[in-house]
Structure 1
Amino acid sequence: MTNKPHASLRFFVPILAGATLRERAVACVGALLGVAAAAAIGAAGLGLDPSLPVLMAPAGASAVLLFAIPASPMAQPWSIVGGNTISALVGILVASLVPDVALAAGLACALAIIAMTLARCLHPPGGAVAVTAVIGGPAVAAAGYGFALTPVALDSVVLVAIGLVFHRLLGRSYPHRAPAPVTNTVGTADPPPSQRTGFRAEDVDAALARLGETFDIDRSDLEQVLREVERQALLRTHADLTCADLMSRDVVTVAPGADAAAATALLLRHGVRVLPVVDGDGRILGIVGLRDLAGASTCVGDVMRPPATAAATTPALSLIEAMTDGRTHAVVVTGPQERLLGLVTQTDLLAALARRPQAPAT
């Protein structure tokens, strides 16, 4: 049974995916700091010309994007600074050439959209900046192209600077970085294992073309969301299958002080791909495989690498993402104090999926 809001409250449901009341409260604090700082610095910088506004009104709209939806392509530093400044220049140029205010305002907004698109800095408040340059009155007209620098560019730079510090203090990634493309680690032309089934990049392009709309999300972010939806659906239908159900408990291990040649022999004797490296108390220290040991003449502790780990209660199918990255062949299951409990391999996962019926749709 799904929890649906009462009909009378449906208009208060956030329209943005992932939006929460806490996120909006944080955005309010950011907007307060950003706009106040831009106004204060603008007032200090414009002290010699009191006729100019200390803050452009579209800065408020820029702040909404910067602090409320910082992952938006339209809220990135170049979009804010470039979009507002270029739009101001366009508006000033149009105002000097077109005497009719109504026509000039419309033309300035239209040309600003084109200019921002060509410069890859589309920013909705830029349209308001272009119109402001046309209808701003004698003070803006007298400032000429200087209006694009002060207050427009100045406000934009201050907002972005506050946004950078603000989001970093909160542990957020800003400027937003699109997820790195998944590559085939073996250096062949085949797609990576995680992208050989399910939808492909061309399917995303075809869907966007079919819908015929522009969405405020980076295309690579959209692809990442869709892949995560697939993963969550798989976890939901197999939520009862845990690592404890699959893991090997009698695990072949090696000590960190063991000779690399001895570890290699141990791998070949038991026909396994990796060996957990444990200390005398059974605590996991790392993991080694043939790739790590190839050509090594030192002890295991010098060539071991950090292991992928999970708890015994972790849903087993959540390990699929790690085990299809082309590098991870097994996940170490640990308990209290990082002690080794077992090992889940790619073979374990494959065997479980082969024997498990698909859950019916609900």
Structure 2
Amino acid sequence: MTTPPSTDDGQKTRFLTRFRLFNPILAGATFKERLIGCLGALIGIGLTGLVCALVFGDDPRLPLIAAPMGASAVLLFAVPASPLAQPWSIVGGNTISALVGILVSSLVGDPMLAIGLAVSLAILAMSLTRSLHPPGGAAALTAVIGGSSVAEAGYLFAFVPVAVNALILVAVGILFHRLSGRQYPHRPAAPVNPHRTADPPPAMRAGFNAEDIDAAIERFNETLDISRDDLHALLREVELQALARQKGELACADVMSRDVVTVPASATPAQAQSLLLRHDIRTLPVLHEDGRLAGTVGLRELAALEGVGALPVTPAATASPSDPAIGLLPRLTDGVAHAVVIVDEGGRVVGIISQTDLLSTLARSLARARGGSVMLGAGQGI
């Protein structure tokens, strides 16, 4: 018999949970991600300073690196998906803000008024040029209170070192993120209809839409550090995860067709077409000589084949038998894949789930929830 925790133990647990070390403030900010960000900042700022020292080291009037680059490095390497951390924001935001600061400094004699105007007008200028970048405020401030070296440099300060620093930092950031397997510059996944019609993609036709997101953001009455397209994609993923949690009891092994019609990679297009038509299916898994999956072929690929040639094999959408069947929804509703091939750990085909298979499963699930019954035929790649 277990002893229930005491009140003191419960309070201690809640305290440690709330204030535990490295508890991420931002979503996705794991300790590993932060270590990668630290390494990126070390390399980015170090290389930026080194390059500027080699190029401008003989000019004592100019600093090797502008202080706002430290804040830019935080955004660039710690939150690279932020709209505020993209290349134009870093380069344009810092440079434009420095120019604003220099202009204000030359026109306004009162230092207290100048520092306020420089930052506020920098925000306006960055907003109008779609280059909003928080360190830009520091760049504008530095242009006003940077001392004699900045004053002597004049408008040159906005380009050397500010713009040069920003360009080098962005270049290092692009290389670093690619080497570490991250996408930068960040490109939000915009929904595309694969059939090139005006309709939204199939997965976007039900549930919330772009107007709902805009209305929710307006009611929220806050500026969010995430693009609208990223927010749309995140909410769609939340919907999928919730559905998988509610309907995740069915694995791919419970739904898949096991008597799979396949074709060897050495087959001719005519042989593949004959199998597709004979079995009234749309997708054929293509196998290597050792039985491992090589890809798929369908009527669409065969129709696009000009003349006589090798089998037009395309990469296959795959899953494992233990994966939740409901998790296949995005791939089977993207307008491209008609079936997902189920493979074992060795890459050998053990089954296939078509759009009809998954639709039938969802229909039965809804029927059970409503106390009724729905019958749908299932088939490979139909």
Q: Do the structures match in fold with TM over 0.5?
A: yes
Divergent runs of 4+, >6 A = none
Instruction: Name 2:136's counterpart in structure 1.
Output: 126
Contact 2:96 2:125 in 1 (8 A): yes
> Residue type of the partner of 1:187?
R
The answer for unaligned runs of 5 or more in structure 1 is: none
Unaligned runs of 5+ in 2: 1-11, 370-382
Does residue 1:273 correspond to 2:282, yes or no? yes
Distance in 2 of aligned mates of 1:333 and 1:154: 52
Q: Secondary structure at 2:167's aligned position in 1?
A: helix
CA distance in 2, matches of 1:138, 1:36: 25
Q: Give the aligned partner of residue 283 of structure 1.
A: 292
Decide whether the 8 Å contact of 2:285 with 2:297 is kept in 1.
yes
- Three-state SS of the structure 1 residue aligned to 2:264 is coil
Could you say which residue in structure 2 is the equivalent of 1:161? 171
CA contact (8 A) 2:122 2:136 kept: yes
Aligned residues: 354
Of 42-51 and 306-315, deviating more is 42-51
**Could you tell me how far 1:198 is from its partner in structure 2?**
1.4
Confirm whether residue 200 of structure 1 aligns to residue 197 of structure 2.
no
- Paired residues for 1:287-298 under 5 Å: 287-294=296-303, 298=308
SS class of match (1:337): coil
Question: What is the aligned partner in structure 2 of residue 319 from structure 1?
Answer: 328
Alignment correspondent of 1:10 = 18
Q: Against the structure 1 CA distance between its residues 19 and 294, is the aligned structure 2 distance closer, same or farther, given a 3 Å change threshold?
A: same
| Residues 1:185 and 2:194 are matched in the alignment | yes
Structure 2 vs 1, CA of residues 98 and 235 (structure 1 numbering), >3 Å: closer, same or farther? same
Match in the other structure for 2:379:
none
C-alpha offsets along residues 35-87 of structure 1, whole Å, 9 cap, x if unaligned? 22333333344433324333222111111111111111111111111111111
Q: 1:149 to 1:279 in 2, by over 3 A?
A: closer
State the shift of 1:280 in Å.
5.1
- Partner SS for 1:356: helix
Separation of aligned partners in 2, 1:168 and 1:290: 37
Match of 2:356 among 342, 347, 354: 347
Structure 1 residues 346 and 141, CA gap change in structure 2 (3 angstroms): same
Q: Which residue, out of 125, 146, 165, partners 1:136?
A: 146
Comparing 48-57 with 17-26, which one deviates more in the overlay?
48-57
Aligned-residue offset at 1:132: 1.1
TM score, norm. by length of structure 1: 0.91
The root-mean-square deviation of aligned C-alpha atoms, in Å, is 2.2
TM-fit CA distance, 1:326: 0.9
> 1:337 is aligned with what amino acid?
G
How far residue 244 of structure 1 moved from its aligned partner, in angstroms, is 0.7
The match for 2:69 is 59
Partner of 2:58: 48
One-letter amino acid of the structure 1 residue matched with residue 191 of structure 2: V
Greater mean deviation of Cα atoms: 330-339 or 275-284: 275-284
Instruction: From 293, 302, 306, give the equivalent of 2:311.
Output: 302
Deviations 1:91-123 (A, max 9, x none): 111101000000011111111111111111111
SS, match of residue 286 in structure 2 = strand
1:104 to 102, 114, 122: 114
> Are residues 280 and 62 of structure 1, via their aligned partners in 2, closer, same or farther at CA, if it must alter by over 3 Å?
closer
Q: Whole-Å Cα distance in 2 between the matches of residues 36 and 336 of structure 1?
A: 44
Q: Report the 3-state secondary structure (helix = DSSP H, G, I; strand = E; otherwise coil) of the residue aligned with 2:26.
A: coil
Written as runs of structure 1 = structure 2, the 5 A alignment for 1:208-287 is: 208-279=217-288, 281-287=290-296
Tell me the secondary structure at the aligned position of residue 346 of structure 2.
Answer: helix
Q: CA 1:32–1:293 in structure 2 vs 1: closer, same or farther (change >3 Å)?
A: closer
* TM-score normalised to structure 2 length: 0.86
CA contact 2:96–2:126 (8 Å) conserved in 1: yes
The residue number in structure 2 matching 1:148 is 158
Match for 1:105: what amino acid? Answer: I
